[in-house]
Structure 1
Amino acid sequence: MRLATLRTADGTAAARLDGAPDTPGATYVLIEGCADVSELLADPEWRDIAAAADGVRVPAGEAELATLVPAPGKVICAGLNYATHIREMGHDLPEHPTLFAKYADSLTGPYDDIVAPAEDPMLDWECELGVVIGADAYKVAEEDAAAYIAGYTVVDDVSMRGYQRRTGQWLQGKIWQSATPVGPVLATPDDFDPTDAVITTTVNGEVRQQANTGDLVFTPARLVAYLSTMITLRAGDLVLTGTPGGVGVARDPQVFLRAGDVVEVAITGLGRLTNHIVAPQA
């Protein structure tokens, strides 16, 4: 099953996708009474509610998608998590995840424009697999963690490297307003295998990153288990699993996004983000 949050004339609405979005006849079915996927997942019966939905239908080609989970209580991100990239940088594999946070205001839709901030010219891309929590998880074992995952999505952890590198803490380069696209859909675990999917970033059609999610050091289940030892993960929370090699700041010479660029992040089986970089308004 695939879920999304659509913009409507009345605000937003959670929806179930019937069919693939790039195939004729694919439609989003609005889920009555749920303003977004965050609200839907707060109901323990969300799977049955979504499966039974038979509301207004919107052709996929006409749908305007919002960020997938507009109101997560937590957005927790893992860094340095692709084994090949870590080794090629000459580092040993980490024993524990490197973690930082984002906030709901940092998120944006899968096809929304991203403003290139005047304050930081070092605007960078980071393709990531996103994990959406489906039930409250506290001190769960790794072997049980999959049961607490609602599904998976595509994320671009767009980063302002100048601000990120001002101190040893990354947060200030990661939380900029409406700069982290999430979507287009959530695919439930029966509809997506997180251990073997190709993840790719292209900028203006040129491949900048490509890896397989099977190369993750800390799998989604392991991250959920680890995080739940510290804090309760709530339904609708979002966990980012890290990015592979190929980011702009690590290139020689360094390359960053500019107004006019188009950055796309795709994961096989989950879909694609497409975001235009725009100049700030005067």
Structure 2
Amino acid sequence: MSAPDSHPGVLRGILQDDQILLAEGRTLPLAQARLLPAVSPTKIVCVGRNYAEHAKELGNAVPTEPLIFMKPPSSLNGHLGAVVYPKISQLVSFEGEVGIIIGRRARRIKQEEADAYIAGYTIVNDMTARDLQKKDGQWTRGKGFDTFCPVGPCWVPREEIDFQSLRVTTRVNGEVKQDAPVTDMIFSVGAILQFVTEFMTLEPGDLIATGTPPGVGPVQPGDVIQVEVPGLGILENSIVAE
């Protein structure tokens, strides 16, 4: 997070109710802080079409193995940060998801070992320029714009979360658009980490976005998106024109 003017620079803290606990017993009211992205990954690895109903709503086949793509770290955005609607797109969509934060270097791990490599969980909004994604035939440009990966508001240690109990709810201007349990995921967290680490080394702090449930749709400048996952909080972002 970033502190207000009276505390220049970047500080790390623990969110407790409406207070941020800082070093040496200091506290900072949450309302006075600007939260930066909850992670600083070397890479952002995403799983596409990991909910069968989401694949179907876009007219795509349900994958038989994890469908992996990446977003650049330059796309990171924080809680209450503005998502910039790019001039070259006419169809920008939201995608609420649960994010996995890697805790230690992972290479060729087995899915039953996955928990030992997870530091915690957060919320991700995988913003997508859907028209460019379809036009390009691959997803880098449509998914990779600056501000297109809001993460937060914080991250919660793995030991404090029952992952199987989580549920993703996304609202646009207060209207529920997505609402599904993570148990609807096609590929489990363990299966995802095993698949990814067969070809890629994951480093501490890397972010894995586990896929979005059905209900994705377009947004316009002025809209406010809230992705809520009980136990992880509410990630809120507004859309602004470029």
Do the structures match in fold with TM over 0.5?
yes
Structure 2 match to 1:257:
219
Q: Give the unaligned 5+ runs of structure 2.
A: none
Alignment partner of 1:275 is 2:229: no
Among the aligned pairs, what percent are the same residue? 38
Q: Which residue of 1 aligns with 2:43?
A: 74
In 1: Cα distance, 2:60 partner to 2:72 partner: 30
Tell me which residue corresponds to 1:212: 181
Contact 2:106/2:201 (<8 A) preserved = yes
Q: Which residue of 1 aligns with 2:33?
A: 63
Q: 1:228 aligns with which of 197, 203, 223?
A: 197
CA distance in 2, matches of 1:257, 1:87: 20
Q: Could you state the TM-score of these two structures normalised by the residue count of structure 2? A: 0.92
Alignment partner of 1:161 is 2:100:
no
Contact persistence 1:6–1:15 (CA under 8 A): no
In 1, the alpha carbon distance for the partners of 2:157 and 2:209 equals 16
Q: Give 1:247 deviation, angstroms.
A: 1.1
Residue in structure 2 matched with residue 135 of structure 1 by the alignment: 104
Q: TM-score, normalised by structure 1?
A: 0.80
CA shift at 1:126, angstroms? 0.3
User: In the alignment, what sits opposite 2:21?
Assistant: 29
**Letter of the 1:15 counterpart:** G
In structure 2, C-alpha distance between the alignment counterparts of 1:274 and 1:240, rounded to whole Å: 17
Q: Secondary structure at the match of 2:225?
A: strand
Amino acid at match of 1:276: S
**1:80 deviation in Å?**
0.6
SS for the counterpart of 2:122 is strand
Alpha carbons of 1:92 and 1:113: their partners in 2 closer, same or farther (altered >3 Å)? closer
Aligned residues: 240
Which amino acid in the other structure matches residue 264 of structure 1? Answer: Q
Whichever residue aligns with residue 90 of structure 2, its letter is: P
Q: Which runs of 5+ in 1 are unaligned?
A: 32-53, 249-255
**Following superposition of structure 1 onto structure 2, how do residues 113-124 of structure 1 map, counting pairs within 5 Å?**
113-124=82-93
- CA deviations over 1:103-132 (Å, ceiling 9, x no partner): 111011111111111111201000011000
CA-atom RMSD in angstroms = 1.8
**Matching residue's letter, 2:10:** T
Q: 3-state DSSP class of the match of 1:172?
A: helix
Q: In 2, Cα distance between the equivalents of 1:106 and 1:81?
A: 21
Q: Distance in 2 between matches of 1:138 and 1:279?
A: 41
Give the CA deviation at 1:87: 6.1
Distance between the aligned counterparts of 1:83 and 1:201, measured in 2? 18
CA 1:14–1:169: 2 relative to 1, 3 Å: same
Distance 2:73 2:33 in 1: 22
Deviations 1:129-186 (A, max 9, x none): 1000011111111111111100000010010112111122111100001221100111
Q: Secondary structure at the match of 1:226?
A: helix
Cα distance in 2 between the residues matched to 1:189 and 1:236: 13
